[in-house]
Structures are given as structure tokens and as C-alpha cells.
Amino acid sequence: MSIQWFPGHMAKARREVSEKLKFVDIVFELIDARLPLSSRNPMLDQIVQQKPRLILLNKADLADPNQTNLWVNYFREQGYPVLALTAKSDKSVKQIIPASKKVLAEKIARDNERGIKPRAIRAMVLGIPNVGKSTLLNHLAGKKVASTGNRPGVTKGQQWLRFGSQLELLDTPGILWPKFEDPAVGKKLALTGAIKDDLLHLDDLALYELEMFSRFYPEQLKERYKLTEDDLFKELPELLMLISEKRGFRDDYERASEMLILELRQGKLGRYTLDRFEELSE
């Protein structure tokens, strides 16, 4: 079953982004390093068109580092400049301006030849909800200039923000696409908090979480919930029941599902990547 979710403010934001593109030199496409494909808006190519772009794989500190390296190489092979970063890290954020100048090297050279005085790079930040746009902006500025929150829809409008003499950023609300044709994409986005929880059943999300961790991060699952190797071979509903019992929830599977999802988001299951590079061809 496909998931449809396209609030009116997102349709408006898409129109405004298209109108404002002419004022920027480069687009920063911010995506979640745990979901390098699922957190990319497929409408973005149509919106951005030929505007220079820098892909920022944010939340790299939460993602599986081996998978992140594979995805960075993949995007580079596709012709995209890309950085893996953590928006809260000075070292990560300081890479953005040099990387932007590299992308815009030809334009900067042309301006120099024409005698055009150098000015700040004007960039637009685009991405779906909850990929860390506001956190990135605040860290660049060294103070709170944008609202943050671990939920979708925090940024409601567009605003220009200046960072020193080298960078001006146009912040935008997160823009999702009208429908998720692949149910797995919706589950991944819901697990990481990019779409509202009430769009999917919590037990379905928890079962999907258990499926992914049983396949790719079994040791993390075993350690967190005191499971044995044999436990991981149980059917997923049985495994959810077992974890529910171990946590003292008895047959309150909804409460157990909430706990599983919350602990995933809090990082208590360790680093993970749900978009697997080895499954890219599928």
C-alpha cells in the first residue's frame, strides 16, 4: 500500500523554492546518512535542474560508517560532489565552504576574469523534514538562528541567514513528495522521524525495525534486548512478543513497539544504515 502525504505548506514551499533558485549559486541537498536514497526527494532533480549542487550526507555519526563510505563513493561516481558530515561537529561543518568553492570554481574564475568583486556564496538548503537542516544552520552561525526539533515540520518558512563574509544561506522547510510508492521507504522515513508516526501502525514499524536489525545488526539487537542467537530465528511477531515480555510489558505490544522505535531514535541500538548499498540494484 502506498502512503500519501503532501500537506499544503509543502506544495507552497516547492513553488517558492522554484522561484528563489535564480537568487542562489548552489544548492545544498541535505540527506540522512542512514537513508541515503530514501531521504532523497525524487522531485528535487526536476526542481533544481542544472543548478550546481553539493550533497551533504548528514548524521554520519549515527550511520554505519562502512555503508556511508560506500554511498559517498556511489554519489561521486554519479557525478555529484558529496560530503559526509555531522551537523553538530565543527570539523564537519568547516568542510562545506571549501567544498562549495570547488563546485563553483568555474563561476568564480569567470567572475575574476570579468573583474567582478568577490562576494559571499549564496546557497539554498533543501531536504526532507528532520534531516538536520536547522541544526546545521545553527552550528554554522555558532548560535540559534533556526528552530530545531526531532520531528518533521519544524521549519515553516524561508529565511536568509548570513554566516560571516563567505556564505549566505536560504533556509527552506522540508519538502516531501506526494506519495511513497514503495512501502519500505515510508517505514524507513517513519522510523527515523521524517514523517509523522500516525501515518503508519507502530507495530508494523517495530516489526520492520526488528527485521532490519536481525539481518544487518544482529549483535546490536542481541546486546540491547538480551537475546540469544536462537531468538533471532523466531518469526518477527514472536520476537516482538519476547522483547515485550523481557521488558515487563506482557502482551502490551503497542507499548513494546513504542519502546523499540524510541530507543532506535535515541541511538540505544547503536549506529545503523537502513538503505543498504548491497541492495542498490534491487
Distance from C-alpha of 248 to C-alpha of 190, rounded to nearest angstrom: 26
Q: Is 133 annotated as a binding residue?
A: yes
Q: Which CATH code is given to the segment(s) 3-171?
A: 3.40.50.300
Averaged over 23-28, what is the pLDDT?
A: 92
Q: Is 12 annotated as a binding residue?
A: no
Averaged over 29-49, what is the pLDDT?
A: 89
Q: Is 69 annotated as a binding residue?
A: no
Q: Is 66 annotated as a binding residue?
A: no
pLDDT at 147: 47
Q: Is 61 annotated as a binding residue?
A: yes
Q: Is 198 annotated as a binding residue?
A: no
φ, ψ of residue 55 to 5 degrees: the values are -85, 130
pLDDT of 280 > 90? The answer is no
Q: Is 135 annotated as a binding residue?
A: yes
pLDDT of 232 > 90? The answer is yes
CATH fold for the domain made of 201-279: Conserved Hypothetical Protein Ylqf; Chain: A; domain 2 (1.10.1580)
Distance from C-alpha of 154 to C-alpha of 129, rounded to nearest angstrom: 8
pLDDT of 210 > 60? The answer is yes
pLDDT of 176 > 70? The answer is no
Distance from C-alpha of 215 to C-alpha of 224, rounded to nearest angstrom: 15
Distance from C-alpha of 173 to C-alpha of 275, rounded to nearest angstrom: 24
pLDDT tens, position by position, 74-122: 999 999 999 999 988 878 788 999 999 999 999 999 989 999 888 899 9
Compute CA 36 distance to the chain's CA centroid, rounded to the nearest angstrom: 7
Give residue limits of the domains in the chain. 3-171, 201-279
Q: Is 281 annotated as a binding residue?
A: no
Q: Is 132 annotated as a binding residue?
A: yes
List the one residue out of 56, 5, 16 whose CA is nearest residue 155: 16
